[in-house]
Structure 1
């Protein structure tokens, strides 16, 4: 199986989503899944070290169109994590309480503590993606100076992008390692996955008629996604476009990018044992053995 190079997927210059692959098949699915099982065990051990080190937090942001594989990505890549050090947040339509605060509030309170991982399944970028396709949603935020959809203009979006970039820069400056993954799905594959939800009875619960309404806006979503990726990918908070038409390969690519990047932090180590405790190890062993 080919070695994964994060440089093949990172957004480090202006990109066109049309030029980015939606399908990469690294090998036969069974072989890729076998390699993923090995890799996620390594990620699990690395998580233990980061938890013991206690100086960094990790924020993993996952975005993508409906059926892109966000839920199964989380389930399969992080299966060997200690759940006490992993928090998953799925951001849906804002609640009345959330709308009583600024749009980033619900994301701030979900951030990981040092030593922990947090996964945002849909993220703070919903505030420049879904709301940009449906600007009327902004009116529900009850913001000063926003009275009609006409007030949600280019200047409004420019300001919001700057706020999001400042939010991420603040996090990175204070010890949060940020990864942002866009699961890049083809329209044809989304059709196949929606049909699967309709054809298989135990998948019916996943289907919503709203998925079809949003599918009609596919081209608009591609434009706003591309703009968001280009505006907000930074060295301290990079975006990666992950070909999502083949789920096993997509999962392995994400796991490999995470592992390679985190292994690059040479200062993430288990803390050394206190000198006094180390000097008395044999004494403590004897105490326990002589009970």
Structure 2
């Protein structure tokens, strides 16, 4: 599948409404889950194992979306198949009082992967250019002297791009997934959670409250994508109404990235190789 179709270009502006929330793949859910995903996961596991062994590159995965769009499921059904030793998952919730005293990018540092790891941010630093803007909650103390409540967002976009470039230049590659869901699909998913007692734990009344700001969120998402999809840290817009199709795309995009990194298992060379052969013979002759 041509995953570049879903990549937000860094050279021109996009309209979010031009990206479909569905490609009519719902009826293929069973086929994708049973016959496509397993082989893709196997490929990804092999690449991740090599990435972990090599310890040369790290990958930071950013998951961003409205509630019920599929972020948690991508972690459960796709990333949970990877080796736990090389996987790090961080969920960012509302900033604490202590975090509000810090620069806004500091709190994501706990979720950054080491080289050899894949780190997943379920919600991320992008919350800092979304939620405070929707609800007008940015405090004066968080606005630098050379900015104001209108210019702060473009300033933060630039700072985020600079920070992500810094990570990229130091061996941490960032791939960002935006789960693009329709309002009708969210309605169906929320109702399912609300009516099914076994899914009540997945529901929060804040999901309904945030839904009231749907149009505002779409505008902010579009601006975020246009200002922060770069050649080195791109955004991908996924048709999130198609659950398993979206998970397939996540897996294929991760495979494509790791294939470009081409991680290799470390091997012995030189004197170490000579010693290795010597120790092999020693053990074999015991």
> Do both proteins adopt the same fold according to a TM-score greater than 0.5, normalized to the shorter chain?
yes
Aligned to 1:276: 271
Q: Please give the residue correspondences for 1:131-150 in structure 2 after superposition, counting only pairs within 5 Å.
A: 131-136=132-137, 138-139=138-139, 142-143=141-142
Partner of 2:32: 32
Contact between 2:92 and 2:121, CA under 8 Å: does it hold in 1? yes
Any conservation in 2 of the 1:128–1:157 contact (CA below 8 Å)?
Answer: yes
Report whether the alignment pairs 1:212 with 2:242: no
Q: Choose which of 237, 240, 245 in structure 1 pairs with 2:241.
A: 245
Q: Is the 8 A contact 1:233 1:239 kept in 2?
A: yes
Of 223-232 and 168-177, deviating more is 168-177
CA shift, 1:128, in A, is 0.4
Specify the alignment match of 2:280 in structure 1: 285
SS at match of 1:60: strand
- Aligned partners of 2:27 and 2:214: how far apart in 1? 29
Q: Separation in 1 of the partners of 2:103 and 2:277?
A: 56
The aligned residue for residue 230 of structure 1 is 226
Distance 1:145 1:227, change over 3 A: closer
1:190 paired residue number: 186
> CA offset at residue 265 of structure 1?
2.4
What secondary structure, in the 3-state scheme, does the structure 2 residue paired with 1:28 have?
A: helix
Listed one character per residue, the Cα deviations across residues 169-221 of structure 1 (whole Å, up to 9, x for unaligned) are 11111111110000000000000000000111110111111111110100000
- Structure 1 distance, partners of 2:205, 2:277, is 66
Query: SS state of the match for residue 71, structure 1?
Result: helix
1:19-98 correspondence to structure 2 within 5 Å: 19-24=18-23, 25=25, 28-34=28-34, 35-98=36-99
1:100-179 matched pairs, under 5 angstroms: 100-136=101-137, 138-139=138-139, 142-143=141-142, 153-179=149-175
3-state DSSP of counterpart to 1:79: helix
Where in structure 1 are there 5+ consecutive unaligned residues?
none
For residues 290 and 142 of structure 1, the distance between their equivalents in structure 2, rounded to whole angstroms, comes to 71
Instruction: Provide, for residues 55-80 of structure 1, a one-character-per-residue CA deviation record: whole Å limited to 9, x for no partner.
Output: 11100000000000100111111132
How far apart, CA to CA, are the structure 2 residues paired with 1:241 and 1:144?
30
**Contact between 2:26 and 2:243, CA under 8 Å: does it hold in 1?**
no
Structure-2 residue corresponding to 1:6: 3
**Is the 2:61–2:121 contact (alpha carbons within 8 Å) kept by the matching residues of 1?**
yes
2:274 and 2:110 map into 1 onto residues whose CA distance is 42
CA distance in 2, matches of 1:200, 1:217: 25
Tell me the matched-pair count. Answer: 281
Question: Do the aligned partners of 2:143 and 2:152 also contact (CA within 8 Å) in 1?
Answer: no
Q: CA deviation at 1:282?
A: 4.6
Q: C-alpha separation between the residues in 1 aligned to 2:189 and 2:173?
A: 32
Gaps of 5+ in 2: none
Displacement of 1:99 in angstroms is 1.7
TM-score normalised by L of structure 2: 0.92
Normalized against structure 1, the TM-score is what? 0.91
- Rounded Cα–Cα distance in structure 1 between residues aligned with 2:42 and 2:222: 33
Which piece of structure 1 moves more, 59-68 or 95-104? 95-104
Instruction: Measure, in 2, the Cα distance between the counterparts of 1:72 and 1:23.
Output: 17
